[in-house]
């Protein structure tokens, strides 16, 4: 079967083993066709630019393997790095975007966990890499982002699953900024393995040339070899090598979405330009704040994103919908979970005028079940400060919410209108209002049309 990985061994008699590996291989070989993910939200009326999957990427990839095996042109993954930490959400409250000092113990503000028992991290990664391999097209490639904690083992997994020699490049992403160590040379690079499924792959080196250094003599007039051959500079600059100097997303950066471990768009832009073409199908199964998806949207690639965190989904909706040209997108869930009751009491009003109508938020109040911590509460100066985004659409039909209007607080624009524009036409007899609070939870109210 073409979805099976290559021979399960490394070259020259080496082998990779840990407790749990056999179970991962067995579960992959014996997996049963996964249930189809349920479409739960849709924004925009045209063919979707991309799809978001909310849930464990293992189940998502199994479902995609049943329908879309060997169809992805580029997959980038930036999984947890096995840091032993929990990553919390960096909250901003209301119009001023003030930041509380929330206690780390408060579980509602966790973005994701990165603590692993025994060899569980290796099993988690191996299970996912087997599936990524199955999803890639014959000319597709994977970019696996990791660091010194795990790169030495992950490289072995890649050689094993994709076959010896299939790692095209081991890219060093070098950055500056952040703290300096007093005990050792500061660690300032991540590793990105670029791996091919087959013998050929998309490779657009000219797309990612960088300008020559101002001091470059070659850039000024070219160079003549001893044999008299003249080499001239390329108008777009020099080709990059495998060490990439790209700044991290700094605290003041305009592209910042306040998602922990968010990667810079420049990095993803370079990857997507290098190894995909317009119209290609690109995926990120640990997509976090959606850097890959936002760049794919800008570059005209079709995209698929997956994350299991609710804060990630909240950020993704905002990042992809609060753009000059909002993306059209679909949201799927893999597990049948019931949406928890939102923590807000929302009073919304529907006004009608000459056949048009408008929705306004009249009152918003935090009713729990968890109380807001005091330091967050202290920053709430008006009821609307409790709201981070809201959307208006048609009542879920067969479980699908069709969003017609969406507004969210972004770094550039913290204001949030309490009213929608006037809608001239509306399909259906009800309007569904979904209000996302400052922790990303969702409260829904339904308003009947008269």
Ligand X SMILES: C[S@@+](CC[C@H](N)C(=O)[O-])C[C@H]1O[C@@H](n2cnc3c(N)ncnc32)[C@H](O)[C@@H]1O
**H or E element at residue 22:** helix 21-29
- Indicate the residue among 79 and 403 with the shorter CB distance to ligand X: 79
Cβ-based nearer residue to ligand X, 124 or 386: 124
Environment class of 56 (CB within 10 Å of its CB; exposed 0-12, middle 13-18, buried 19+): middle
Cβ atoms 21, 9 nearer than 8 A: no
We find the least distance from the C-beta atom of residue 430 to ligand X, in angstroms, to be 33
Phi and psi at residue 286, to the nearest 5°? -130, 60
> Which residue, 209 or 273, has its beta carbon nearer to ligand X?
273
Q: Is 309 helix (H, G, I), strand (E, B) or coil?
A: coil
Query: What distances in angstroms separate CA 398 from CA 55, 249, 314, 340, 394, one per listed residue?
Result: 20, 40, 22, 19, 11
Site residues for ligand X per CB under 6 A: 56-57, 78-80, 112, 259, 261-263, 286, 288-289, 291, 306-309, 312
Q: Which is nearer to ligand X, 37 or 309 (CB)?
A: 309
* Nearest-approach distance from CB 210 to ligand X, in angstroms: 22
Question: Looking at beta carbons only, is 125 or 379 nearer to ligand X?
Answer: 125
Separation in Å, CA 162 to CA 98, 201, 270, 409, 445: 47, 14, 23, 43, 49
Cβ burial of 255 (10 Å; 0-12, 13-18, 19+) is middle
Whether 89 contacts 55, CB under 8 Å: no
CB 83, min distance to ligand X, A: 10
Phi/psi at 229 (nearest 5 deg)? -80, 135
- Is 286 or 357 the residue whose CB approaches ligand X more closely? 286
Shortest distance, CB of residue 309 to ligand X, whole angstroms?
4
Instruction: Scan for tokens 């911590």, then name that residue.
Output: 373
Closest separation in Å from C-beta 259 to ligand X? 5
Using the minimum distance from each CB to ligand X, give the nearer residue, 109 or 306.
Answer: 306
Q: Judged by CB, which is closer to ligand X: 114, or 444?
A: 114
Are 369 and 343 in contact by the 8 Å Cβ rule? The answer is: yes
Backbone angles phi, psi at 219, to 5 degrees: -60, -30
**Region label for 405, one of left (φ > 0), alpha (ψ between -120 and 50) or beta (otherwise):** beta
Buried-state track 321-343, b at ≥16 Cβ within 10 A, e below 16: bbeeeebbbbbbbbeeeeeeebb
Closest residue (Cβ) to ligand X? 288
CB closer to ligand X, 264 vs 383 = 264
Q: At what angle do helices 310-321 and 291-298 cross, to 10 degrees?
A: 20
Report d(CA 41, CA 48) in Å as an integer.
11
Q: Residue 79 Cβ, how far from ligand X at the closest point, in Å?
A: 6
Min dist CB 121 to ligand X, Å, is 11
Distances (CA, A) of 26 to 16, 31, 116, 120, 160: 16, 8, 22, 16, 16
């Amino acid at each position: 079967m073409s979805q099976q990985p290559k021979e399960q061994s490394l070259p020259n008699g080496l082998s990779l083993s840990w407790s749990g590996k056999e179970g991962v291989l067995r579960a992959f070989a014996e997996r049963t066709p996964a249930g189809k993910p349920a479409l739960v939200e849709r924004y925009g009326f045209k063919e979707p630019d991309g799809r978001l999957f909310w849930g464990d990427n293992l189940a998502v990839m199994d479902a995609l393997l049943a329908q879309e095996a060997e169809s992805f042109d580029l997959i980038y993954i930036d999984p947890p790095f096995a840091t032993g930490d929990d990553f919390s959400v960096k909250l901003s409250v209301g119009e001023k975007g003030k930041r509380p000092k929330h206690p780390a113990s408060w579980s509602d503000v966790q973005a994701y966990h990165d603590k692993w028992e025994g060899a569980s991290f290796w099993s988690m990664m191996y299970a996912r890499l087997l599936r990524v391999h199955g999803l890639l097209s014959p000319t597709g490639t994977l970019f696996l982002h990791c660091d010194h904690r795990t790169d030495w083992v992950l490289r072995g997994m890649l050689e094993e699953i994709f076959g010896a020699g299939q790692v095209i490049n081991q890219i060093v992403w070098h950055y500056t900024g952040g703290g300096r160590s007093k005990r050792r040379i500061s660690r300032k690079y991540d590793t990105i393995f670029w791996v091919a499924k087959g013998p050929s792959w998309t490779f657009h080196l000219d797309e990612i040339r960088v300008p020559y250094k101002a001091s470059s003599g070659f850039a000024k007039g070219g160079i003549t070899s001893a044999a008299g051959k003249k080499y001239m500079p390329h108008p777009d600059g020099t080709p990059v090598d495998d060490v990439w100097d790209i700044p991290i997303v700094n605290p003041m950066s305009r592209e910042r979405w306040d998602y922990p471990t968010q990667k810079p768009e420049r990095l993803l832009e370079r990857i997507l330009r290098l190894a995909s073409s317009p119209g290609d199908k690109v995926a990120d199964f640990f997509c976090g704040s959606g850097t890959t998806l936002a760049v794919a949207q800008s570059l005209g690639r079709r995209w698929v994103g997956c994350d299991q965190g609710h804060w990630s989904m909240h950020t993704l909706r905002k990042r992809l919908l609060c753009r000059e040209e909002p993306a059209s997108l679909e949201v799927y869930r893999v597990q049948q979970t019931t949406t928890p009751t939102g923590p807000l009491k929302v009073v919304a009003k529907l006004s009608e005028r000459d056949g048009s109508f408008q929705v306004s938020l009249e009152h918003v109040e935090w009713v729990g079940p968890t109380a807001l911590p005091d330091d967050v509460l202290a920053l709430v100066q008006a009821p609307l400060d409790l709201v981070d985004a809201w959307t208006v659409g048609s009542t879920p039909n067969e479980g699908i919410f069709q969003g017609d209007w969406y507004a969210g607080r972004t770094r550039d624009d913290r204001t949030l209108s309490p009213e929608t524009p006037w809608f001239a036409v509306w399909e259906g007899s009800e309007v569904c209002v979904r209000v996302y609070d400052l922790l990303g939870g969702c409260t829904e109210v339904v308003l009947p049309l008269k």
